[in-house]
Chain A
């Protein structure tokens, strides 16, 4: 079961069928460039299903970030650890309507706190494409410090950003 986490302005919840169109539009847009896209729309359904299957495989995963009042999906944030990743990371992707409001930061903090408290972890990283300046800025805003690089087979070189530990992040 995918848990629900709430923040001041946001609900982090399971992806639902009604989120699919927004997600598919994001994956097909230039906004998906830094995560290996844009992807043909026909691939969107399978990757959408995989977000949910990730939870079953790992016991954690990424949530749809929704406006707490309207339930409109604004992004995808959570703990991401596919089999070709070196370790679990706090991952974020904001849809066009979720940009510029501090939502990514608010959601990433909630995801991080959830992982520390619920999973009992004491280390978390985020892997960021160095050309993705907005993401780099967010990593810094979250208090992350640089921690080396990782070369992914198709995504190329990603930079590790190490999050503050459970105590410091609180």
Chain B
């Protein structure tokens, strides 16, 4: 089980109980609309607990994104594969509005997609983006992912937009 990914500026590590505060702060804001928020504290806490448990069940999960030298949680990025997902996803949620324009989200997501294709050996990587979540769609496009109009969608999110990430050799 890979616990950590390192990029130029970032460390992506397994989520820990201490990240709950940042997660909860995010899920109280309108910024979380594209990822199922805003949430009441009970559902938000269960969602966060599920992020931790996903690692135990799957052996992979979303990482907490941190800057090197500062363990504060900036967001979460990584594999998310619930049982009802038709394909293997790399998802993201960016807690910190101040990250916009820094390229941090792109740097983290790029590492996560590469890890999914490489270390995890996935055949394909998609990202599910809620309609209207333009920030997220822009990030997918920046990563080189293409809107795949023929892709199956999760039953519970029939309107989701599916972005498919190119395999590394194609992207190169």
Contacts and interface: CB of A to CB of B under 8 A. Distances in A.
Contacts of B20: 57
Interface extent on A, as a size class? 20 to 34
A149 interface: no
A50 interface: yes
A152 to B, nearest CB: 8
A84 B45 contact: yes
Nearest to B24: A83
A48 B84 contact: no
B122 interface: no
A48 B155 contact: no
Contacts, number: 83
A17 interface: yes
B40 A49 contact: no
Interface string B136-172: 0000000000000000001110000000000000000
A17 B156 CA distance: 22
B48 interface: yes
Given A20-B83, A40-B156, A49 B17 contact: no
Interface string A40-61: 1111111111111110110000
B9 interface: no
A53 B40 contact: no
B50 A47 contact: yes
Contacts of B17: 56-57
